[in-house]
Amino acid sequence: MNNQTIRLLIVDDHAMVRRGLATFLKASPNLELVGEAGNGSDALRLCGEVHPDVVLMDLMMPEMSGIEAINAIRKDFPNVNIIALTSFQDEHLVKAALRAGATSYLLKNVSAERLATAIRATQAGMPIMSPEVTDIFMDRKPDYFADLTQREREVLISMIDGLSNEEIAQQLVLSASTIKNHVSSILAKLDVNSRAKAVNLALKHHLIT
Mean pLDDT over 58-87 rounds to: 94
Specify the pLDDT at position 131.
Answer: 82
Please state the separation of Cα 69 from the chain's center in Å: 18
* pLDDT band at residue 141 under the 50/70/90 scheme: low
Q: Residue 4's pLDDT is what? A: 86
Does residue 1 fall inside a structural domain?
no
Which neighbouring-strand residues pair with 81? 54
28 plus 50 within the same structural domain = yes
Average pLDDT, the chain: 89
For residue 145, is it within any domain?
no
- Is the pLDDT at 140 greater than 60? The verdict is no
Domain end (from 138, 158, 183): 138
Residue 1: its pLDDT value, please?
Answer: 46
The structure's pTM equals: 0.65
Domain that holds residue 20: 6-138
Closest CA to 37 of 16, 12, 67: 12
Can you give the pLDDT at residue 145?
79
